[in-house]
C-alpha cells in the first residue's frame, strides 16, 4: 500500500512541479495520506507507521538531488506511461513510472521501495524494448529507491545505447 501511494504522490509531484511540494506541505497532507492508505487496506493499528513511512519516502525524494532530477520538468516527460506490445507471441501491457528526454536521451525510470536492483533489470529491459519501438532516440534505464536515495542506471541490452546523458554514479 505504501509503494502504491508513493507512486501516486510522485506522479502528482511531477505534474504539479517541485515548487508545490515541501516537507511542510507533506506534513499538511497527513490526513489525505491516512485516508488513501485506509482506502488501500492498511489496518487501523498500522496507519500511524504507514503514514510516517510514506511521508519519510516523499521527503527523502524531495531532499534528494537525484529525486528532484527525476521529478523535474523535462522534455516529453510522462508519469505512469501506459504501453503495450507483443513479445514472443504474448501481449503485454506495462505502466512506466517516469520517462523523459534529457540531453537527447530517452530516460525510463522506475521507482522501488525495496528489493535488489538486479531483480528489476528484466522489467526495465522490457520497458526499453517497448519504448524503442516508438522512440528512435538512445535510451537509458534508471532505478530510483526513494527511501534510501539509491540509484542504479544502465543502458538497455536490447535497445539503442545512449551516447550522451548526465554522468551518474551507481549507488
pLDDT in tens, 2-31: 989 999 999 999 999 999 999 889 999 999
pLDDT at residue 92, as a whole number = 84
- Residue 169 phi, psi dihedral angles, 5° rounding: -100, 150
Q: Between these two residues, 57 and 168, which has the higher pLDDT value?
A: 57
Q: Indicate the Cα dihedral angle 127, 130, 135, 140, nearest 10°.
A: 20
| Nearest-angstrom CA–CA distance, 62 and 71 | 9
**Residue range 123-151: mean pLDDT, rounded:** 93
Select from 110, 76, 115 the least CA-distant residue to 96: 110
The overall average pLDDT reported for the chain is: 89
pTM: 0.85
Higher pLDDT, 160 or 127: 127
Pick from 135, 133, 125: nearest CA to 155:
125
With 70 as the cut, is the pLDDT of residue 168 above it? no
Residue-wise pLDDT for 58-87, tens only, equals: 999 999 999 999 999 999 999 999 998 887
Grid cell digits, residue 65: 538531488
Task: Pull the grid cell for residue 50.
Answer: 504507514
pLDDT digits (tens, 9 = 90+) for 38-54: 999 999 999 999 999 99
Q: Quick one: pLDDT at residue 90?
A: 84
Amino acid at each position: 500500500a505504501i509503494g502504491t501511494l508513493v507512486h501516486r504522490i510522485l506522479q502528482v509531484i511531477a505534474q504539479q512541479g517541485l515548487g508545490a511540494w515541501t516537507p511542510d506541505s507533506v506534513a499538511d497532507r497527513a490526513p489525505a495520506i491516512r485516508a488513501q492508505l485506509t482506502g488501500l487496506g492498511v489496518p487501523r493499528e498500522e496507519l500511524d507507521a504507514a503514514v510516517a513511512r510514506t511521508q519519510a519516502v516523499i521527503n527523502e525524494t524531495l531532499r534528494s538531488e537525484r529525486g528532484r532530477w527525476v521529478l523535474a520538468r523535462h522534455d516529453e516527460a510522462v508519469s505512469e506511461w501506459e504501453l503495450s506490445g507483443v513479445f514472443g507471441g504474448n501481449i503485454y501491457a506495462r505502466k512506466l513510472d517516469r520517462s523523459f528526454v534529457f540531453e537527447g536521451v530517452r530516460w525510463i525510470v522506475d521507482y522501488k521501495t525495496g528489493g535488489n536492483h538486479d531483480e528489476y533489470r528484466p522489467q526495465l529491459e522490457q520497458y526499453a524494448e517497448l519504448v524503442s519501438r516508438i522512440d528512435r532516440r538512445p535510451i537509458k534505464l534508471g532505478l530510483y529507491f526513494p527511501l534510501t536515495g539509491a540509484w542504479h542506471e544502465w543502458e538497455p541490452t536490447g535497445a539503442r545505447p545512449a551516447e550522451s546523458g548526465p554522468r551518474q554514479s551507481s549507488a
